Structure formats: structure tokens, C-alpha cells
Structure 1
Amino acid sequence: MKRITWFLLLPFCGILLTLKPLSAQRAATHSGHPPPPNILWIVSEDNSAEYVGCYGNKMATTPNLDKLASEGVLYENAFASAPVCAPTRSTLIAGVYATAMGTQHMRSTYPIPDFIRFFPYYLQQSGYYCTNQAKKDYNTVDQPGAWNESSKKAIYRNRRPGQPFFAVINLGTTHESSIHNSIPAAQLKHDPEKMPIPAYLPHTPEVKHDLAQYYDKMQQMDAQVGKILDRLEKDGLAGNTIVFYYGDNGGVLPRSKRFVYESGLRIPLIIRFPEQYRYLSPANPGTATDRMVSFVDFAPTVLSLAGIKIPPYMQGKAFLGSEKQPPAVYAYGFRGRMDETYDMSRTVRDSRYRYIRNYMPDRIYGQHIAYLWEAPSMQSWEKAYKEGRCDQIQSAFWQSKPPEELYDIRNDPDNVHNLAGDPKYKAVLISMRKANAAWIRHIHDAGFMPEAMMAERAEHAGTTIYQYVRSRAYPQEKILSMAEIASMGAPRDLEKLMEGLKDADPAVRYWAAYGCVLLKRKALPARQQLSALLDDPYPDVAIAAAEACYNLGDTTRSINRLLKALDHDNDKVRLHALNVLRVMGRGALPALPKLRALQQSPRIVKGETYGQRTIDYIISNL
């Protein structure tokens, strides 16, 4: 442990066994053990660890968080599971990776099995009073009964006398929307000209201003934390409450939130243990630990602290309490659809390196996302790139991705020097590649089916996505193997891809077609097979085949197949087709009349936000 200075500073059958009645807890209290602790979560939105003073940032103005770190334990290696709120909160509330439940795509509400309970349910069953103020955003069908109270006014004060509580207070002050409208420079507390700019961003006035404004928002959030802790003290509860402070994902400048780099996934985490629960702490107050922890671990950890047995379906491991597990070697993360834009990456982080596997490497990092582009810094970066004012590192964001990335966090905190092709790091690359492959198989990652196909196959089987990918009907190994081959984009694998185009499973056919997309003209020998797949009964397969055929010169049939997909009943099929049309640039011009008609259709205008955004963007560029 390292000293820190505060000013720098399956399934359902096992569930009933997890619950400890409150009467048993009271009996434990009479036997000399302390009563169950209160647990308070203070959650800030969209901020990486780098913006908090106790993590070493002298520019940050966060005295309350720095003080909290001096009284508690600072986690140096804490990570969100996804670089955006809803999918990572899905992981957080269930103790199961969103990719294992099919809840990895932004703003989706696919159901999960009944036996997967939002974890406050178990706390309630054990006698806790559970409150949430007020954000949920769990990216699945809600379970309102998980909370005694969930509202902007929900507070632990409404519990019975002596009843232990678990309370969550969400602070939206630092959300990315806080920089969408620029505050006049004269009103800022932090000087834009003194801002530390990451290597991947150009030094535009907008980038500097957004960052200074964000530091101001961090200062405001820190003051809110101070008031919450003061209230806890005045209520006489500080002495029996374990306090967590953490950020819900990274942010907030471009290439942080939504991206699987340190800036998007590494979060601040501070935990303070009052004196009577000091035995539960991993270290003395004012120290830091380098233990790897991830959001999937938070639910089992809270249950462990409360003395509740952890349900066997949870994929996370408790890092505190009675069921504390040995430290993990890796923290895993994922990226799926971000609002209207499809992409797919998985990432593995150990104590020094971050490995990223890009399964859609031809899609540039900087795919347009309407909400992200509301930030002046994002707009200025794109403008600087188009005007040729970005260096090689800053320009990489606007280019296609390599299939694999590897970064030495110790020497490259901005993650800009990809070591995946460096022979000196071959052993590290292979080791982390294997870790990723093992992880996606172990958790039964559902993201290796296109979104519409994923939902349709589970629905057709009459079950949830989580259960479907664990059934005999789902050929996991065959699908994952084809995805790994296809996404490398190697011409030597064309024969394997052509075999995959004939496979009985639609997900295998999809990945084989997508592999041909990456090969472009080098996929010419597969042209006849790809053309036949334009009539595939699964539209996601046909859309991938249409993009591959377009690259091979069959533009008319390809565009016509995409236009047909725009009339499909499933909005995610339509969104998939729109994403391909967007990639085509001016090649999508024949689709313009159809897009203009859709732009005015009641379906798009009234409810299909992501479709509307994509159509508007395509039309504006045509």
C-alpha cells in the first residue's frame, strides 16, 4: 500500500440462501459484533480519475474529495465496464456483464431473466432500507421493487429507527452536457490557457475552453460531495456508514467517454470506513491500493459488506467484506452501439497494459454521434482535421482502427502509441489476446450477433438473450471463431470466410460477410456467394453482404437491398442499414429520395430518434 497526501490527493436455486434475516443480524450485534453497516454511494457522472486532485492533478480543485481520500482508501485501478452510462450501469446493478445479458447497446431495454435481481433487492430482503436519488438508466426492463425509494427526494432518513440503509446519490453536475453551452471565459474559475491537453487532442480554443469549464464543474460537484458528507455527520451517521465515491464512467472531452481507453474507463474510487468497520478496510486511512476492481464487482462487494451471501449467477468478485476474493489479474470492458452508431470493441486491462480488440476495425474512431458533436471541442477537432491542422496522433481518430491495440499505461497514459505490432511486446500481446478470448467465452458474450438478430433469436426461442446464448441452440464457439477470423481482415483467410458464407448459422454468415467487407476488392472470389446472400432471410446478413457487394462494384443491387431494409419492421435493422449508407458517403446518393421521404415519416419524426439523427446526418452530407 502507498501513502497518499490528501491535498494531492445457475441461477435462481441459490438465491434464497443468500439472504440473512435482519433478526439474525441483530443477534450478531448482541454477540459483540458491530451491526450491519450503512452504505452510501456518491456517484458523479462522466469524470475520469485524472480530474480529481488526490489522484495527482494539481490543477483540480476538489478539496472535499481529497479530504475523503485522506480519511479512506483510494483505488488506483478502478474501472467502469463500459465507457458510457447505461450499459455500465446495467453491469453495476446486476453484478453481471451487460454483454452477458444482451444489454450492452446504448438505450436498449432487452429483458433479463427473472432470477437476475437488481442487487438492492437482496439488501431489502435482509432488512436494509434502499434509496436511489435518482438516476437509474439500467438499460433493461426496470425492477422498481429494488428500491424502497427512487426519486429526486429519496433519502435514507425515511427508514425505521435503527434500520441499516443503502443509499445512492447521483450527481449530474459533471455530465458531458455541462460543456455543451460555453460559459464566457471571464466567468470561468480555471484558466483555459493553463489546461493540460491530452496528446490526441488539438490545442484549439474550444478544447481549452471546454476543459476549463469542466474543471469548474468538477469543483461544483466536489462542493456537493462536501454537503452530502456534512449532512451525514449532522445526522449522526458518519460513524456507522461506509462511504463510496466513484465516477460512473470516464469523460468528458472527445475520445474519453464512449471510447475504451483509460480516459473512458478508468474512474475515481474512494472508500471511507468508519472506526468500527475499520477491520473491513483493505488498508489504513490515507493510503492507496493498486488492486484491480471493476463495476461488475460492486454488487457482490456491497452484499459481502452487508454479510449477505452472493448469488451464484453474479460474475463479479467481492473485493471487500466477508466474501472477499483474491485480487483479479484483469479488468474487462466493452463498447457496443453508442446511440445511433454501431461499433464493437472489447478490452482487457492488467496492472500495466491495456489491450483492445476491435471487431469492426474499418469503422473510424470518429464516427458521427449527434450528441457527442454538441460539444464545441468535438466540432473544433473535426474542423481542425479537415483543415489539415492535426498532427499524426491527433489525425488517427479520423481513420480506421487496427484490429488490435496495446498500450503501456505507465509510459503512455494517453494511449497513443500502439505497441501491438512491436516485436518486443509480442508475448504481452499474445497473453492479453488469450485473456480476451477466454473472457468472452466464459461470460457467454451475446454481442457477437448483430443487435436485431440477437433480440430476434432470443424472442423466437421464447427466452431472454442471457439464457439463449447459454442454450444448445447457440453455437458459441463457431460464431466467436468466425468473428475473430473475420475482424482481422487478413486476405489469407478468404477461403475460411467463403466457407462461413455457407454456414447454417446466420451469425456465422454475418461475420463471414463482414470479413469480406474488410477485404474489399480482395474478396472478389466470394462475389457470387455474397450476391446470393442479398436474399438471406436474416436482414443483418443481407446488409453485411450488401456492403461487401458494394465494395466489389455491385452498387445498384447493394443500394436496393439497403433501401429494402429501411422498410423493415425492426428499427435496429433499419439503423444497421442506415449505418452502412452513412459509410458509403456520396455513394449513397441514389438513396436520397428514400431518405428524404423517411425524414418526414411519422415513425421517424415521432419516436425513432437514432434513425432520425442518422438520416439527417446522411442527407446533410449528400
Structure 2
Amino acid sequence: MKKIILSLIICTITMGSFAQKKPNIIFLLSDDQTSIATGCYGNDQVVTPNMDMLAEEGVLFENHYNTTAICMASRAVILTGMYEYKAGCNFEHGPLRKAKFAKSYPVILREHGYYTGFAGKFGMAVSDADNSTRHNSWDLLPIDAFDNWAGGLGQTSYQTAKNKYISKYAEKYPHSTRAYAAWAEDFIKEAKETGKPFSMSISFKAPHMPFTPDQYFDYVYKGKKYKKPENYGAENATHLAPQAKTGRQYKEYNFWRNSEESYQETIKNYNQLIHGVDYALGMIRKTLEEQGVADNTIIIFTSDNGYSCGAHNFGGKVLPYEEASKSPLIIYDPRTPFKERGVRREEVTANIDMAPTILNYAGIEAPAHMDGEDLRVLIEKPKKFKRKTVALTNFWGNDEIQAMGVVSKDWKYILWNYEDDKMNTTEELFHIGKDRLEMTNKATDPSEEKQLKIMRSLYDAQVDKLKKEATKDNLYQKYAVLFDRKATAEDKKPYLIGTYEASQNKAKANEKSTKKNKKSKKNKKNN
């Protein structure tokens, strides 16, 4: 009997020791940060020392794509590890359904004993009620799904005092970016006391519009003048598909191109916001050291999508071009041998990989429905990492810019499916291994006919996957037709929602009608 009791005690101690060895996992997400806005990605015009150090001590992924480059959809993809057409969440489509959120990485981690926390912009509703994507109501956010919640409504605010769950930090940190790092300090202390491994996810608002940087960092870029990218401006977009040059990404965001002064002010504010995130990363790492948990805490840093910053005359994100769809991705695991740190991986990675990678770091097998890969394989045994391509999709906005593509380390193929009396279905093929600025479309180059066929085949395979797996709700089934290379204009017609030109005309008509009604009411009042 004594031997049995002794065995049980030893077993309990061993299990407790094993539980403590589970790593803590921190997932940090900036908002609208293109990879080239980060020093360790080769930009000597920005100041990101903490991101650069994280890359020196961890692994930097040179070709990290957001499979849908828009915040709501990308966040749902990150949480669930599924392509958007399976996650089923985006503006104009619908919220993230509760059953899908129940299989997201934070929920699974909590079920496996992790102490979980979330702060910042959650960015979507979790609801079965209807197809509304509104997330400005607390009852549509999964507050109770986390042990510690500090998320905000809608787009949140740069003013700390306007964010309910972090307002207590407003006096010392009036700008939300540093306030989230202050919340992280308290969370790490709190999590340590529980004795559980912790998972902390922070979604910064920065550097999303409006570009309102923390004045604390005004000194960083004072007096600095920035060089424009080589593919900046409309003169560098003449070769691009006409569909891409129809939406607000091309027609609006004039602050990037109104004047030299406007560009310089905008890019300074954008970079200063990113510097704030970098500083917050430094604050968090300092807290980990002070609390004695740094040696067992994995840090993953990325962004929900890129940003065009005037490249090819584009502002915003959404489009599958490099600046808009690529973000930094750095993974730091302090348990990694020093000789394996500071490495770079060129293979294509994507936001679908975040959930399965996080779960696998926690010793939890990723569910089969997840589309992403475990990036530990790419980190530790790159030759065994088999995936070569990912799909790039846009299911949002005017008809012309809704499109799908496929990207590998060296090549990118995009099919712009919309056609009418002004434009035809257009293929783009870029040799991004040599032409990262996407200045030459090789789709009509006879010497690349073989490569075009290869990329078409890879694209078709992705469309077949979409046809089989797209969710039945939230208007995703139509893309089985819209993105099919063999579909005709007549096939697509029932699924179209409206062109950019039509939306602009409607907006002008509404504005005119509103002015007319106001004038009529004013005349009646005067009479």
C-alpha cells in the first residue's frame, strides 16, 4: 500500500513538473503593418529595435502573407486557422459563428489548462443571431471566453481613456499602444500567480487609421525625410489589371499622393505608430524578465494585413499585391539552441498557420479542419516542410476587386475575374523572386507559358478546395462560380453586387437627395 501511495506521489510531482514545462505563449498583432515597414526586413528608414532584436534571437519569415488582407476576415482566419471561405467572417458577409469560435486557438488553450487573456481590437462579432458584422456591442464580443479580457468595441480608440477595460492606465499612458503593454505587465503577474501556463494575445490598433501616433515618440522621426518606394504612384501602375484600379484602394486615400508634404506627414505618422508597438514589445519583454518567466515564454509577432503606402498609387490593403498582403512574422522561442537563432525562412507562410502553430507549441494537436501548417516544422526541420503555395483571396468590396490568386516563394498568379463592356477577365503573373515590386506582368510573356500553366493548375486546385469546403452561410458559395477560370460572364452575373462606379453614383445621388430634403424642410420652416 505504501508503495502505491509513493508511486502516486511521484506521479503527481512528475505531472506537475511536466505541466510547468508547457510554454507560455504571447501573440502580438499590429494592425495594417506591411513587412517592409520593419527594420529587420531591410528598411533603414524605420526605427524598430525591439522587433529587430526579436528577429535576431528568433526566426524571421520573409514571405508571410495574409490570405485575406482585411482586418475582420484576417482576425477570424488567425483565430480559427481556416481560410476565410471556411471561417465565414468578413464585412459584407457575416460574423464569426459561435461553433467556429469554440474551436479557435484561445478557447482550445483554455480547455487544456492555459490561463488566457486578450487585449485590444477583437475586430469581429461572435454571433449566431444574424448576418450583421457590427461589433460595437459588448454582448457580441466573447468576453467570458477569456480569463482576463481587455478588448474594446469596434475599431477601438487610440485614446486610452476611451477604452473601457484599459482606461485605468490612461493617466500614465494616454495613448493606447503603451497602455496595452501596461495591461500586459499586470496580466503576466496575475497569470504567474495561478501556476498555469498562460496565453496572452494583444491586438494593437496601431498603425491603423487615423494615423494618430503617441506624442511621446515625436522625437524619433523629427526632421526625417522619407524616400518613396520605387513602385510609388500611378505611373508605376500602368501594367496592372484594370480591375485593381477601380476600388477605393486606388481611387481614394489621397493623403498618400496629394503632395510631397502630405506624403511625408502620413508616412511619418504611420512609422511612428509602428515605433510605439515596437516600444510596447520592449516593455513586455522587460516584464517577462522581471517576473522570471522569459525563459519559457514564446513570442509571436505579426500583423493582420499589410499596407500599400502609395505603392502603384494604392492606399489601404485588401488587394493581393505584395505591400498590401504581406506582413512581418517573427517567432521567438527562448528554448531554441543559440546556433539555430537569428535564422530566416524564405518559404511561404500565412495567417492560416498561426492557430495550428500556437496549439502545437502548447503540445496540442491542431484540429483537422484547420488549413494552416505547424511552423515549428519549418523552423526546426525546413526540409520536411512540404507546402509550397497559399491562396490569396478578396471577398470584399466592389465586384471588380474581388479576386483570388495563388503565391509561392518565387511566383504569384492572380485572376481578376470581373468582366464587362469596359474590361476583360485578366491574368497576372509576377516573378516575385526577382520582381518583388511587381513591375512586370509575365502572363502574356511567351517565355513563361510553362510557368503560367503551372500557376493556373495550382490556382484551379485552390478553387476546387473552395468549392468543396466553403461554408454554406454568409454568401461564400457564390465564389465557386466567380473564381472559376472557366465561368462565363453570364455564369457570374447573378452573383455580382455592384461596381465601384455604381456605388459612387449611388452615393452622389443620396447626397443630392439629402441636400434637397434639407433645403425643402428649411423653406417650409421659413414659410
Name the SS of the counterpart of 1:169 in structure 2.
strand
* Letter aligned with residue 320 of structure 1: R
Look up the match of 2:247: none
Q: Tell me by how many angstroms 1:201 deviates.
A: 1.6
What secondary structure sits across from 1:278 in the alignment?
Answer: coil
Distance in 2, matches of 1:69 and 1:441, equals 37
Aligned to 1:299, what secondary structure does the other structure show? helix
Instruction: Please tell me whether residue 345 in structure 1 is matched to residue 266 in structure 2.
Output: no
Range that drifts further, 298-307 or 219-228 = 219-228
* Alignment correspondent of 1:563: none
**Does residue 467 of structure 2 align to residue 435 of structure 1?**
no
TM-score for the superposition, normalised by structure 1: 0.61
Instruction: Give the aligned residue type for 1:273.
Output: D
Partners of 2:302 and 2:330 within 8 A in 1: yes
* Counterpart Cα distance in 2 of 1:102 and 1:109: 7
1:329 paired to 2:388: yes
> Using a 3 Å threshold, how does the CA distance of structure 1 residues 73 and 577 change in structure 2: closer, same or farther?
closer
- Of 248, 264, 268, the match for 1:208: 264
| Cα RMSD for the two superposed structures | 3.9
Counterpart of 2:34 in structure 1 is 48
> Residues 407, 97 of structure 1: CA spacing in aligned structure 2 closer, same or farther, 3 A cutoff?
same
Alignment pair present for 1:358 and 2:416: yes
> Structure 1: how far apart are the matches of 2:285 and 2:274?
17
How far did residue 443 of structure 1 move?
A: 3.7
Whether 2:190 is the aligned partner of 1:158: answer yes
Q: Report the CA distance between 1:108 and its aligned residue.
A: 3.4
CA contact (8 A) 1:50 1:57 kept: yes
**What is the match of residue 170 of structure 1?**
203
Per the alignment, in what secondary structure is the counterpart of residue 21 of structure 2? coil
What SS does the corresponding residue of 1:309 show, helix, strand or coil? coil
- Structure 2: any 5+ residue segments left out of the alignment? 1-9, 128-140, 151-164, 167-182, 235-256, 519-527
Which residue does the alignment assign to 1:259?
319
Distance 2:205 2:149 in 1: 16
Note the 1:374-453 alignment, pairs <5 A.
403-444=426-467
1:582 maps to 2:503:
yes
The CA deviation at 1:335 is 1.0
Q: Who is 1:199 aligned against? A: 231
Q: Mind listing any 5+ residue stretches in structure 1 that lack a counterpart?
A: 1-22, 364-398, 448-453, 459-463, 490-496, 498-507, 515-539, 545-575, 602-622
CA contact (8 A) 1:291 1:327 kept: no
In the aligned structure 1, how far is the partner of 2:463 from the partner of 2:205?
Answer: 32
| Residue type at the aligned position of 1:485 | K
Equivalent residues of 1:195, 1:211 under 8 A apart = no
What are the Cα deviations for residues 155-202 of structure 1, in whole angstroms up to 9, with x where unaligned? 2433343210010122223113216x9x9xx98826564423341426
CA distance, structure 1, for counterparts of residue 389 and residue 444 of structure 2: 22
Matches within 5 A, 1:498-577: 508=491, 511=492, 514=493, 576=497
- Cα distance in 1 for residues equivalent to 2:393 and 2:333: 31
Q: Which amino acid aligns with 1:90?
A: A
CA contact (8 A) 1:336 1:342 kept: no
Indicate conservation of the 8 Å contact 1:211/1:253, yes or no: yes
Q: Could you say what secondary structure the match of 1:176 adopts?
A: coil
Identify the residue that residue 238 of structure 1 maps to in structure 2.
294
Partner residue, 1:225: 281
Q: How far, CA to CA, are the matches of 2:118 and 2:306 in structure 1?
A: 21
Seen in structure 2, the aligned counterparts of structure 1 residues 578 and 54 have a Cα distance that, compared at 3 Å, is closer
1:65–1:25 CA distance, 2 compared to 1 (3 A): farther
Query: 2:51 matched to which residue of 1?
Result: 65
Structure with the bigger RCO (C-alpha within 8 Å, sep 6+) is 2
8 Å Cα contact 1:80-1:294 kept in structure 2: yes
1:294-318 C-alpha deviation (Å, 9 max, x unpaired)? 1111101111111112212112121
Aligned position for 1:375: none
Deviation at 1:53, TM superposition (A): 1.0
Change over 3 Å in CA distance of 1:188–1:328 after alignment to 2: same
Is the 2:93–2:474 contact (alpha carbons within 8 Å) kept by the matching residues of 1?
A: no
Q: Is residue 176–residue 252 contact of structure 1 (8 Å, CA) maintained in 2?
A: no
Q: How much does 1:485 deviate?
A: 3.2
Kindly indicate whether the alpha-carbon contact (under 8 Å) linking 2:80 and 2:87 is maintained by their aligned counterparts in 1: no
CA contact (8 A) 1:300 1:316 kept: yes
> Match of 1:236, SS?
coil
2:61 alignment partner in structure 1: 75
Q: Are 2:39 and 2:46, in contact at CA under 8 Å, matched by a contact in 1? A: yes
Separation of aligned partners in 2, 1:266 and 1:296: 13
Cα shift readout 1:58-89 (whole Å, capped 9, x = no counterpart): 11211111111111111112111221211111
Q: What corresponds to 2:367 in structure 1?
A: 311
Q: Corresponding residue for 1:520?
A: none
Per the TM alignment, residue 410 of structure 1 is displaced from its structure 2 partner at its CA by 2.8
Note if contact 1:95-1:300 (Cα within 8 Å) is conserved in structure 2.
yes
Change (3 A) 1:120 1:109: same
Shift of 1:579: 5.4
Conserved? CA contact 1:347–1:436, under 8 Å:
yes
Aligned residue pairs total 429
Does structure 2 retain, via aligned residues, the 8 Å contact 1:121–1:145? no
Change (3 A) 1:139 1:78: farther
1:99-138, CA deviations, whole angstroms, 9 ceiling, x for partnerless residues? 2233244573263645862221110111001111122114
Structure 1 residues 188 and 149: CA distance shift in structure 2, 3 A: closer
Maintained 8 Å contact 1:353/1:407: yes
Q: Partner of 2:172 in structure 1?
A: none
